[in-house]
Structure 1
Amino acid sequence: MFHFGIEHEVAFLNKEGKFADFSHTKFADFNQIIEKLPVYASDYPQLRVGDAGIKKKRWYIEGFERFADSDQVIDCHSKGIEIRTTIHSNIHSAITELSESFRLLCEVAANFSFSPVLVSFNPYNPIFVPQPPLNDYEIKQLETEPDEQTANIHMVTYGPDLNISLADLSSENLIDIGRKLTYYSPYIVPFSYSSPFYNGALWDGLSVRTFIRTGKRPAALVFVEKQEQLINSRPSLTKIARIPAEVGRIEFKACDSCDDFSIYAALLALLKGLVLDKTLLGRATVPDAALHQISAKKGFDNEDIFGNATKVLQAAEIALGDDPDVHFLTPLKKLLANRKTKSHELIEKFHRLGSIEEVIRQTYQI
Structure 2
Amino acid sequence: MVQIGIEHEFVFKDSNGIYLDFETAQFPIFQQIVDAFPYFENDDEFFECKSLERRPKRCYVEGFERYDSDGQLVETIPKGLEIRTLPYENLDDLLSEFTNSYLALMKITKDFGFSPLLTSLHPFKNNVTLHKPLNQTELDLRTPEALNIAINALLWHGLHVNVSIQGYTHEQMTDLVHKLNYYTPFIIPFSFSSPFYEGKLFEGLSYRTFKKANKARKAAQLQNRKGSYVIEFRGYDACGDANLMKALILLVKGLVLDKTLHKRALTQDPEMLKLSALEGFENQTIKTEAIGVLEAVKSVIADGQVFEELQRMLYTNDSYALKMKQSFLETGDILQSISNRYHYS
- What is the match of residue 265 of structure 2? 284
Aligned residue runs from structure 1 range 168-187, under 5 A: 168-187=167-186
Aligned residue runs from structure 1 range 123-142, under 5 A: 123-142=123-142
Distance (whole Å) between structure 2 residues aligned to residue 280 and residue 133 of structure 1: 48
**Matched position secondary structure for 1:257:** coil
Contact residue 142 and residue 149 of structure 1 kept, 8 A: no
The code of the aligned residue for 2:131 comes to Q
Contact residue 194 and residue 208 of structure 2 kept, 8 A: yes
Identity between Structure 1 and Structure 2 (%): 34
- What is the match of residue 117 of structure 1? 117
1:212 has 2:211 as partner: yes
- What is the match of residue 236 of structure 1? none
Distance (whole Å) between structure 2 residues aligned to residue 351 and residue 50 of structure 1: 39
How far apart are residue 50 of structure 1 and its match? 4.7
**Matched position secondary structure for 1:206:** coil
Contact residue 66 and residue 77 of structure 1 kept, 8 A: yes
Q: Residue 358 and residue 55 in structure 1: after superposition, are their counterparts in 2 closer, same or farther (change >3 A)?
A: farther
The code of the aligned residue for 1:243 comes to K
Q: Which runs of 4+ in 1 moved over 6 A?
A: none
- What is the match of residue 102 of structure 1? 102
Q: Residue 358 and residue 151 in structure 1: after superposition, are their counterparts in 2 closer, same or farther (change >3 A)?
A: same
How far apart are residue 314 of structure 1 and its match? 1.1
- What is the match of residue 256 of structure 2? 275
Gaps of 5+ in 1: 224-240
Structure 1 residue corresponding to 2:226, chosen from 240, 243, 263: 243
Contact residue 194 and residue 206 of structure 2 kept, 8 A: yes
1:151 has 2:150 as partner: yes
Contact residue 153 and residue 213 of structure 1 kept, 8 A: no
Q: Residue 83 and residue 192 in structure 1: after superposition, are their counterparts in 2 closer, same or farther (change >3 A)?
A: same
1:299 has 2:277 as partner: no
How far apart are residue 362 of structure 1 and its match? 2.7
The code of the aligned residue for 2:202 comes to W
Cα displacement string for residues 292-324 of structure 1 (whole angstroms, at most 9, x for unaligned residues) = 01110111111111111111111111233xx4x
- What is the match of residue 333 of structure 1? 311
**Matched position secondary structure for 1:10:** strand
How far apart are residue 214 of structure 1 and its match? 3.3
The code of the aligned residue for 1:274 comes to L
Deviates most, 59-68 or 149-158:
149-158
Distance (whole Å) between structure 2 residues aligned to residue 261 and residue 69 of structure 1: 44
How far apart are residue 53 of structure 1 and its match? 3.1
The code of the aligned residue for 2:256 comes to V
Q: Residue 329 and residue 51 in structure 1: after superposition, are their counterparts in 2 closer, same or farther (change >3 A)?
A: same
Q: Residue 154 and residue 218 in structure 1: after superposition, are their counterparts in 2 closer, same or farther (change >3 A)?
A: same
- What is the match of residue 352 of structure 1? 330
**Matched position secondary structure for 1:74:** strand
- What is the match of residue 255 of structure 1? 236
The code of the aligned residue for 1:305 comes to I
TM-score by length of 2: 0.95
- What is the match of residue 80 of structure 1? 80
Distance (whole Å) between structure 2 residues aligned to residue 115 and residue 267 of structure 1: 24
Contact residue 65 and residue 75 of structure 1 kept, 8 A: yes
The code of the aligned residue for 1:161 comes to H
- What is the match of residue 363 of structure 1? 341
TM-score by length of 1: 0.90
**Matched position secondary structure for 2:8:** strand
- What is the match of residue 64 of structure 2? 64
Distance (whole Å) between structure 1 residues aligned to residue 151 and residue 211 of structure 2: 11
Distance (whole Å) between structure 1 residues aligned to residue 287 and residue 341 of structure 2: 26
- What is the match of residue 231 of structure 1? none
